[in-house]
Amino acid sequence: MSLEYVLTVVGMGVVTYIPRWFPLFFLSRRRLPHWLVEWLDFIPVSILSALVLPGLVTGGEPRHVVFFQPELIVAVPTLLCAWKTRSLAGTVLCGMSLYWLVGKVML
């Protein structure tokens, strides 16, 4: 490992750690205003949706909208499974096996 690599990785680590650490350290002991608590309460569902949806309905290079791809087709029964079973384990296994099956069928 060269010194330059070590320094680069440490730099990457520091700039990754600070955004993770700063709000936890300074917000967790504080009584936050009501509107901020409410806003932060909406953040998890927003982030999850923003993380997952582009991967379901877009693809390719350069990126464009693709509707009928396995990711989106499998998402529908996966969501239903989560809704009906309320089981994380069941839903992950259901999604994986359907994705595998759809991959086999479409090839």
User: 4 to 23, contacts with other proteins by CB under 8 A?
Assistant: 4-13, 15-17, 19-23
Work out whether 66 is an interface residue with other proteins (CB under 8 A).
no
Q: How many residues of this chain interact with other proteins, rule: CB under 8 A? A: 73
Helix (H) or strand (E) holding 59: strand 58-59
Query: Which token pair is 84?
Result: 């009906």
CB-nearer residue toward other proteins: 29 or 68: 29
- List all residues 6 or more positions away from 67 whose beta carbon is below 8 Å from its beta carbon: 57
Site residues for other proteins, window 44-63 (CB under 8 A)? 44-58, 63
* Residue 73 touching other proteins (CB under 8 A): no
Q: Which CB atom, from 51 or from 68, has the smaller least distance to other proteins?
A: 51
Does 34 sit near other proteins (CB under 8 A)?
A: no
Give the Å distances, CA to CA, from 74 to 28, 32, 61, 64, 104. 38, 40, 22, 19, 13
